[in-house]
Structure 1
């Protein structure tokens, strides 16, 4: 990426097994498939040569099916799992070289994690669960309770400060976990499939909560999920993994509009294209007989949101950025996507 990065991952490997460190050093072993590597060495490569950057304030989603390596990857980023090889540069510091003391400082001050299983302390009230990270950091009781009340209000748990976890629904317990992560004001929030155990309606509410909180506090987020619709709702960019490898990284419209291979194409096959693709994917070059005095829209407008304007116009709608004409869109292009007539490329 050309912008400043908060996280920069380069050639990251996590191999489980005897003499795992030999695998990333050997071109021969690196070339083996996951099955071949297990048969040959007894080792499992959960993460293989993964590289990406995360920009400040970005919601970066890592997704894949079970066994793709996504959860192992996020644990490598925080060193809850020790990587076998590669680099994880956090705000300019390669944290793979950090000692135990420095790693504790990073976990207490720089990043927090929200897990699927909540991880709440059952015999502590909500306010004390939320304040726990500040207690570990050494904040005074007055400081941590004041901050805990602030984030409890932020996540919509006012009135439940003195409840115990077992008195709360699953969605409310996850809000407590989210509040606890926010309380320490980290630079980055890591989410490891936090909503997988919730029923669909509560899950959607929590997705909306993450979107709202991101809008309000602007935290950089790395979000792990196996759910494509969740990834598309939350992610500025999405990294798709398979068998420990990264398959494609891009925005939602890039994954749907230009899938890198059949695996990604299969993943996005049932996505409503009009809800994801932007006008830059459907616009065409102006023709000599086009009358170019119609409405203007930007290239990043989602097709669904452009339907009314395009269908109401009696001439091509211009797609313009910074005063430059990029292309035009007519009812023909719009209806092709809306009705899914066009096969996925």
Structure 2
């Protein structure tokens, strides 16, 4: 099945002889070798797929290449090598006119620093993308007002940007992207300039909107907690390369290398994990004793702990048909909150060899 957005073996190199640099990277050269020659490899061999209606988060530290990667997804930067396809169409084959049309109608971008016009009202800012499309004034104002209402700004249409708080200004930026009814939203650290409480409010707003609008979103962040909270899937970048892609639970429970493992050390696992992630699916023989108070695979970890505290036996996890799919002993919950990384322990606290082990997340 065709993904909404596909990136295949993307490279972006700045400096002299970029094509030669790509070949050297393919043969095993690293960033430092190229930098010594005056060449910067911003993105190295990045491949991923984004499905329709998915929030795909790209996260990494400053300089990891995530913002450069984002700008290749809408044609603002041309890849040195590799391809980007949106709805099956190759972006590099569109030409300048085709790219402008794509960016005005199908792909919208929400920036970190709001990018509002100070001399335009909130309504006019929200309607700007529609103005670029040539939509008649009455229609674009109607659609802008609808988008502002979705973002919690009904009643502020005639205000000026400097009359709004930072969080409200970012809502205007989001409304501007939504007003065009674009198929793909690209969000470049859109909430990172906000205070922590406002930032969380914006995250809540985005998740609430996504329940209704089901947009395809690529979200860039350097904040792992934000990535874990928003992302259906997450790509972790380091030094221009994607080092792991997976769900929040995949990354928490199965980090692919020491770099990813170090990244997740301070994550609050209780806000991410669910019963489906921590349950033991192996037969125990006493499942019949677990049918008092139960959980589902989607039960949040904190709620699962509360259920476990009320029971004297493991929590039974049942699917939608009330079929037992796993059990969660109390010691397993304690283990998944530990700081060490590794494979989760068995329900009785023993590993495959019968020795006592520590649950690790």
Same fold (TM over 0.5): yes
Of 125, 128, 152 in structure 1, the residue corresponding to residue 124 of structure 2 is 128
Of 43, 48, 54 in structure 1, the residue corresponding to residue 44 of structure 2 is 48
What SS does structure 2 have at the residue aligned with 1:62?
A: strand
Residue 289 of structure 1 and its aligned partner are, at CA, apart by: 5.0
Counterparts of 1:280 and 1:206, CA distance in 2: 28
Residue 201 of structure 1 and its aligned partner are, at CA, apart by: 1.5
Inter-CA distance 148–78: structure 2 relative to 1 (3 Å threshold): same
Residue 240 of structure 1 and its aligned partner are, at CA, apart by: 0.3
Aligned pairs for 1:228-247 within 5 A: 228-247=224-243
Aligned residue for 1:306?
A: 304
What SS does structure 2 have at the residue aligned with 1:23?
A: helix
Question: Is the 2:335–2:360 Cα contact (8 Å) retained in structure 1?
Answer: no
Inter-CA distance 340–13: structure 2 relative to 1 (3 Å threshold): closer
What SS does structure 2 have at the residue aligned with 1:248?
A: strand
TM-align CA RMSD: 1.9
Inter-CA distance 87–287: structure 2 relative to 1 (3 Å threshold): same
Aligned residue for 1:336?
A: 335
The TM-score, its normalising length taken from structure 2, stands at 0.89
Of 35, 40, 43 in structure 1, the residue corresponding to residue 32 of structure 2 is 35
Question: Is the 2:233–2:246 Cα contact (8 Å) retained in structure 1?
Answer: yes
Inter-CA distance 200–188: structure 2 relative to 1 (3 Å threshold): same
Residue 330 of structure 1 and its aligned partner are, at CA, apart by: 1.6
Aligned residue for 2:102?
A: 106
The C-alpha deviation readout for 1:134-192, integer Å capped at 9, x for no partner, is 11101111111111111111111122211221222211111111111111000011000
What SS does structure 2 have at the residue aligned with 1:12?
A: strand
Aligned residue for 1:257?
A: 253
Residue 327 of structure 1 and its aligned partner are, at CA, apart by: 2.8
Question: Is the 1:291–1:316 Cα contact (8 Å) retained in structure 2?
Answer: no
Matched, 1:279 2:250: no
Question: Is the 1:273–1:340 Cα contact (8 Å) retained in structure 2?
Answer: no
Inter-CA distance 99–7: structure 2 relative to 1 (3 Å threshold): same
What SS does structure 2 have at the residue aligned with 1:314?
A: coil
Inter-CA distance 38–166: structure 2 relative to 1 (3 Å threshold): same
Moved more, 295-304 or 154-163: 295-304
Moved more, 93-102 or 62-71: 93-102
Counterparts of 2:287 and 2:296, CA distance in 1: 19
What SS does structure 2 have at the residue aligned with 1:101?
A: helix
Residue 296 of structure 1 and its aligned partner are, at CA, apart by: 4.0
Counterparts of 1:243 and 1:339, CA distance in 2: 29
Counterparts of 1:343 and 1:327, CA distance in 2: 17
Residue 259 of structure 1 and its aligned partner are, at CA, apart by: 0.6
Counterparts of 2:145 and 2:243, CA distance in 1: 42
Unaligned runs of at least 5 residues, structure 2: 341-357
Question: Is the 2:332–2:359 Cα contact (8 Å) retained in structure 1?
Answer: no
Counterparts of 1:303 and 1:65, CA distance in 2: 28
Aligned residue for 2:147?
A: 151
The TM-score, its normalising length taken from structure 1, stands at 0.93
Of 167, 170, 173 in structure 1, the residue corresponding to residue 163 of structure 2 is 167
Counterparts of 1:332 and 1:311, CA distance in 2: 11
Residue 238 of structure 1 and its aligned partner are, at CA, apart by: 0.6
Question: Is the 1:283–1:329 Cα contact (8 Å) retained in structure 2?
Answer: yes
Residue 71 of structure 1 and its aligned partner are, at CA, apart by: 0.5
Aligned residue for 1:22?
A: 20
The C-alpha deviation readout for 1:287-329, integer Å capped at 9, x for no partner, is 2355445244333433222112233233333334465543321
What SS does structure 1 have at the residue aligned with 2:171?
A: helix
The C-alpha deviation readout for 1:67-110, integer Å capped at 9, x for no partner, is 00000000110111121110111001011211111111111110
The C-alpha deviation readout for 1:203-230, integer Å capped at 9, x for no partner, is 1111111111111211111100000111
Inter-CA distance 225–126: structure 2 relative to 1 (3 Å threshold): same
Aligned residue for 2:326?
A: 327
Counterparts of 2:218 and 2:252, CA distance in 1: 21
Question: Is the 1:57–1:219 Cα contact (8 Å) retained in structure 2?
Answer: yes
